[in-house]
Structure 1
Amino acid sequence: MSDAKARAYAARLHKVLDYIESHLDELLTVEQLSQVAHFSKFHFHRQFAEYTGSSVFRYIQRLRLKQASYRLAFEHSTKIVDIALGAGFENPESFSRAFKNLFDQSPSEFRRHPDWESWHACYRLKLPERKQTMQVDIVDFKMTRIATMEHRGPVEWLNETVGQFIAWRKASGLSPKQSSRTFGIAYDNPDTTEPDKFRFDICGEVSTDVPADPSGVVTKLIPAGRCARVRHLGSHSSLGESVIYPLYREWLPHSGEELRDFPIFFHYLNLIPETAEHELVTDVYLPLK
């Protein structure tokens, strides 16, 4: 297959993956998806499996269970039966069976004590990269005071810290997500840092310093200064390949810019679980001199 044909073939399958992500709450059939890709429905199963390493059914179910797992972990007031129905299952029993088969925890067990390390292992899928067009803008970021919960340890357990920060945010009322910006500060690259040394701050904008709190939330500042800003659309798990590596490897060497002594950080314009992964919007800021 020539390079041009291979790119066209990949584009058709990427179109299917995009379609699945944006229609997870609808009935999805092989016939329907094969038409999206303009493939014969008789061969679509095999083509999809060879490209993604998963059958169509299992791929769709994994995405639906992923969305459901976020709701279980971060929406404690939502009933499991409602999460099951929202994930496209006919009843809580079939949802519970599928959930336990994938994560080795029942939905109620996951809600109480999520095993995020095993959860991450389920989603280490070697899917072909879907590149986004990267537009870099130079902006002046204003100094921002933030309430910060420091994550220190394996990236697989970052969601545990996220859950703790959400609980603090709700209990304290000091940084309501409806009216306060949410940030993440990445001190280390999880691909090159020893797991126990990985550092990441989860932050919410505040107007005054945070009082001493047993949860460990502290006050920090994101300093004012020039930044390269890129808007990323979609799952946070693709930020590295879609934005961060291209910024450092491709854009920075040709930009004539130099880095400031502050780590790359993220402004999350919307959040899981109320936002589907494919609809997430994240502004990535690279501090410059």
Structure 2
Amino acid sequence: MEEYKKRIVTAIRYIDDHLDAELSLQKIAEVGAYSPFHFHRIFRLVTGETVQQYINRKRMERSAFYLALRKPLSLKDIYLQFGFSSHSTFTKNFKKHYGHSPSAFRKSAPENFHQIRLQESRNGQADTVFSTYLCHIENLINWTEMNLKIKVTELPEMNLAAVMSLGIAHVESSYTLLTDWAKENNLFPRENIKMVSVYHDSFKVTPPDKVRIHACMLLDKKLEKQESEIFAETIGAGKFIVGSGEVTLDDFEKSWVSLFLWMKENGYSVRKAFPFEICHTNFKEHPEGKMTVDFCIPVD
């Protein structure tokens, strides 16, 4: 099973990196070192979706993200980038997935994008609802000023050892696997160790049980080869909004929401890279369950 997971991880990373290209089952299976027939069955066993269902969902989610946060792109720019042949085809698929047309989604997104969530409707289909604010904007801004120190800064390239987690419920076990590997390689425990969570999906448009999160550890140098489920990941150098503070696990969503609001209010736009968290301390070692965290958003 470990070898299966290793190959599936490779295939998923390939899909996510090539959503704007033609993705055939033959090519993806080849990347995963399987025959198409066996790959299709194993992929579904591991992810709970067929290959095409996964590709379609990811393209819809990436389109939603671009509609909300990459305003200079036209609808045509977006639907052509993700393989839709026409405006009508894109609109039909988007509305089926989210319950809103792309234009309506984009129009509502500036104020409400951070609140979008998928809910099960009575007939079992996933609908998008623009929920009420988790708290009033004024209270959120006050919380931010009291709990996060925000700055815009250049961060260097980071070399990571990573384990893929499909679904928020599996993040803890991914970190357990990562730390066990680090102990075997005399990398853990050590002073100033930093654990990093890289979000390859957004909770804004992806259900929690399907969000892809990489549980990572910052390394002094690049990991040379994939070892079982441990693989190398690199965060490129660049400009980031960094919100730093001492928070509990329950504060994470509030921290991300407030940081994206701050980004919009200050005229920054997210660039094509993944947001991440750097955890400097362990909440299990704090009497109040707090940890020191940097929340990082890549911006232009």
1:126 aligns with 2:167: yes
Partner residue of 1:248 out of 282, 286, 299: 282
* Aligned residue identity for 1:30: L
Query: Superposition pairs for residues 68-217 of structure 1, below 5 Å?
Result: 68-114=63-109, 116=113, 117-119=115-117, 126=167, 138=192, 181-185=240-244, 188-189=247-248, 192=250, 198-200=254-256, 201-202=258-259
Partner residue of 1:23 out of 6, 13, 18: 18
CA contact (8 A) 1:52 1:126 kept: no
* Aligned residue identity for 1:44: F
Identity of aligned residues (%): 22
Question: Which residue does 1:266 correspond to in 2?
Answer: 295
Distance in 2 (alpha carbons) for counterparts of 1:17 and 1:91? 26
* Aligned residue identity for 2:167: K
* Aligned residue identity for 2:14: Y
Hey, which of these two has a bigger chunk of strand by percent?
A: 2
Describe the shift of the 1:186–1:81 C-alpha distance in structure 2 as closer, same or farther (beyond 3 A). farther
Describe the shift of the 1:82–1:137 C-alpha distance in structure 2 as closer, same or farther (beyond 3 A). farther
Gaps of 5+ in 1: 1-5, 140-154, 159-178, 206-214, 218-233, 275-289
CA contact (8 A) 1:183 1:204 kept: no
| TM-score, L = length of structure 2 | 0.50
| TM-score, L = length of structure 1 | 0.52
* Aligned residue identity for 1:47: I
Shift of 1:78: 2.2
The structure having more radius of gyration, on CA atoms, is: 1
1:65 aligns with 2:86: no
Distance in 1 (alpha carbons) for counterparts of 2:84 and 2:90? 6
Shift of 1:157: 7.0
Aligned residues: CA RMSD? 4.5
1:51 aligns with 2:46: yes
Distance in 2 (alpha carbons) for counterparts of 1:187 and 1:77? 35
Describe the shift of the 1:203–1:103 C-alpha distance in structure 2 as closer, same or farther (beyond 3 A). closer
Q: Tell me, what secondary structure is at the counterpart of 1:70?
A: helix
Distance in 1 (alpha carbons) for counterparts of 2:60 and 2:204? 18
Distance in 2 (alpha carbons) for counterparts of 1:194 and 1:23? 30
Q: Tell me, what secondary structure is at the counterpart of 2:83?
A: coil
Shift of 1:137: 7.9
Question: Which residue does 1:36 correspond to in 2?
Answer: 31
Moved more, 126-135 or 46-55: 126-135
Gaps of 5+ in 2: 120-125, 129-164, 194-201, 206-237, 267-272
Distance in 2 (alpha carbons) for counterparts of 1:265 and 1:67? 25
Q: Tell me, what secondary structure is at the counterpart of 1:202?
A: helix
Distance in 1 (alpha carbons) for counterparts of 2:95 and 2:166? 19
